[in-house]
Homo-oligomer: A and B are copies of this chain.
Amino acid sequence: MASGVTVAIVGVTGAVGQTTLKILEERKFPVKSLRVFASERSVGKAVTFKGDTVRVEKVAPEVFKGVDVAFFSAGSAQSKEYAPRAVRAGAVVVDKSSAYRMDPSVPLVVPEINAHALRGHQGIVACPNCTTIVTVMPLKPLHDAGRLRRVIATSYQAVSGAGVNGVEELRRQTLQWARGETMTATYFPHQIAFNVIPHIDKFADSGYTGEEMKLVSEVRKILETPDLAISPTTVRVPVFTAHSVAVNAETEANLGPDRARELFASFPGLKLWDEPAQNRYPMPIAVEGQDDCYVGRVRQDLSLPNAINFWVVGDQLRKGAALTGVQVAELLIR
């Protein structure tokens, strides 16, 4: 593939699709030919890649002939319908939807953590949910050094995690507020401007949301710890981009905050911003647009000797989605 690969992006008009385009360009992914797909209502639109205009095509079963790598970020239903077609046509699929994440025959991969899981893939590789990626990145070095025993994760999730409609809703409500108008909620279940909503994805009978349960099952699969104790709370906040997670991590070994800081600082894809005296800690506005996940507020848990608290922030469109997908593809075409 020295001369490059033929790439397809399904769901190119969405927030993750758009970011995937940008990252393929930034990272000089060896694209020989690019085809971009979306649902019927986006046909006729066009996207720009390396200065060229590429017209959006309607996704259909037969479009994947000749495609080497297909990025899917159009939702579970589209992935279920078209990913197997793409594989049969000879493509490898990097799927950002939740369709195949928990399928035992599909690797669920964060390249810095479990690239080895790619071996023996059967054509589809799944990328984890955005909140999972941001949370699992700092958990991995702690687990390797001290064996995780229990994790309590509490999130502050940006509206772009819900796609371009989420961004549009926060923007519109804020402008309505600025004009003194009534704020209207059409996409999120409640007003998100100047509010926080402890509800992302559907509720199960247990009282947990789909988003919370994804965090549990995906972290377990990625870390290969099927019984790891994880207690999740996921919350939408009026932030445009970058998810923040407050994490309490209990380990078998007593690592302590100094060792944890060293582990975070030396793990690929993580950066340590932990200088409270200089008001320096990760925040969404500082991390938006960055490739790495940023960890700060590392401190001893006052309530348990073998536990620490920390705060991790990641751009959920980049590391939480598109970047991880492109990194996976880079490994696949190597």
Residues of A within 8 A of B (CB): 150-152, 154, 156, 170, 174-175, 177-178, 189-191, 194-199, 203, 206-208, 216, 229-233, 235, 237-240, 244, 246, 248, 257, 276-277, 279, 281-286, 296-304, 307, 309, 311
Contacts and interface: CB of A to CB of B under 8 A. Distances in A.
B198 A311 contact: yes
User: How many subunits of this chain does the assembly comprise?
Assistant: 2
Contact of A307 (B199, B231, B297): B231
A229 B198 contact: no
Given A233-B246, A246-B154, A198 B303 contact: no
Which one of A189, A284, A300, A303 has the highest number of Cβ atoms from chain B below 10 Å of its Cβ?
A303
13 contacts: A150-B304, A156-B156, A190-B286, A194-B238, A194-B284, A195-B284, A196-B239, A198-B281, A198-B283, A198-B297, A207-B299, A208-B299, A238-B238
B178 A297 contact: no
A230 B198 contact: no
Given A208-B302, A304-B229, A244 B311 contact: no
Contact of A199 (B189, B190, B239, B276): B276
Contacts of A199: 276, 279, 281
A303 B152 contact: yes
A174 B180 CA distance: 13
Nearest to A239: B194
A257 to B, nearest CB: 7
A283 B248 contact: no
